[in-house]
C-alpha cells in the first residue's frame, strides 16, 4: 500500500525521469558555454533566490535527489549529468518540470529552486537580479552548457 508521500515521490521520479529522457539524456554533450539566453539575455539570479532554493531543496527534494544532488536508484541526478542533458534547453522547461513534480509550489519557489540548481552546478549570475518567475520570460533564457573538461588548463578535443 502506497502512502501519499511515497506515491508523490514515485510520481516525481517518473515525471523527472521521463522529462530527462525527453531532453536528450542520451545525446552527445554540448561543448559551448556561457550564461546568456538565446537572444543574448543575461542569465541572472539573486543570492536570496539561491539561499531560498537551498532551503526548499533541503526540505522537499534532498530526500530523493540526495544532499549533493547526485540522485539515486530511480531518481535522476541534478548535477553534472543533469546539466549536460539540459544544456541549451529554455529554462521554462525546467521550471515546468519542477512545477509538475511539485504542483503546489508557488512560482517564486520554483524560480528559487531553479536558481539553486543553476548555482549548485557552477552557473554564475550576470548580476544579482532575480531569475524571473514568468514562464514566458524563462523561455528566452537557456540552461548554459557545461564547460568542456580540461587537462592542464587546456580544453580537451574529441
pLDDT in tens, 27-65: 233 333 444 444 456 799 999 999 999 999 999 999 999
Average pLDDT over residues 106-134: 94
SS3 of residue 90 by DSSP: strand
CATH of domain 4-147: 1.10.760
**What are the domain boundaries of the chain?**
4-147
* Residue whose C-alpha cell reads 539561491 in the numeric block: 50
Quickly state the pLDDT bin for 137 (edges 50, 70, 90).
Answer: very high
- Short-list 16, 30, 148, 147, CA closest to 88: 30
Query: Distance (Å, rounded) from C-alpha 88 to C-alpha 32?
Result: 9
Which residues make Cβ contacts (< 8 Å) with residue 43, sequence separation at least 6?
35, 36, 37, 118, 123, 125, 126, 131, 141, 144
Average pLDDT, the chain: 76
Amino acid at each position: 500500500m502506497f502512502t501519499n508521500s511515497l506515491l508523490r515521490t514515485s510520481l516525481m521520479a517518473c515525471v523527472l525521469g521521463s522529462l530527462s529522457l525527453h531532453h536528450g539524456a542520451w545525446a552527445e554533450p554540448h561543448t559551448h558555454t556561457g550564461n546568456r539566453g538565446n537572444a543574448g539575455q543575461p542569465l541572472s539570479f539573486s543570492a536570496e533566490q539561491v539561499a531560498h532554493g537551498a532551503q526548499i531543496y533541503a526540505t522537499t527534494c534532498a530526500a530523493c535527489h540526495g544532499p549533493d544532488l547526485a540522485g539515486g536508484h530511480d531518481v535522476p541526478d541534478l548535477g553534472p549529468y543533469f546539466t549536460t542533458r539540459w544544456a541549451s534547453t529554455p529554462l521554462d522547461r525546467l521550471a515546468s518540470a519542477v512545477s509538475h513534480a511539485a504542483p503546489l509550489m508557488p512560482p517564486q519557489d520554483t524560480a528559487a529552486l531553479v536558481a539553486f540548481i543553476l548555482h549548485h552546478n557552477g552557473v554564475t549570475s550576470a548580476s544579482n537580479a532575480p531569475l524571473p518567475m514568468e514562464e514566458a520570460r524563462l523561455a528566452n533564457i537557456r540552461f548554459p552548457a557545461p564547460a568542456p573538461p580540461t587537462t592542464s588548463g587546456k580544453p580537451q578535443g574529441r
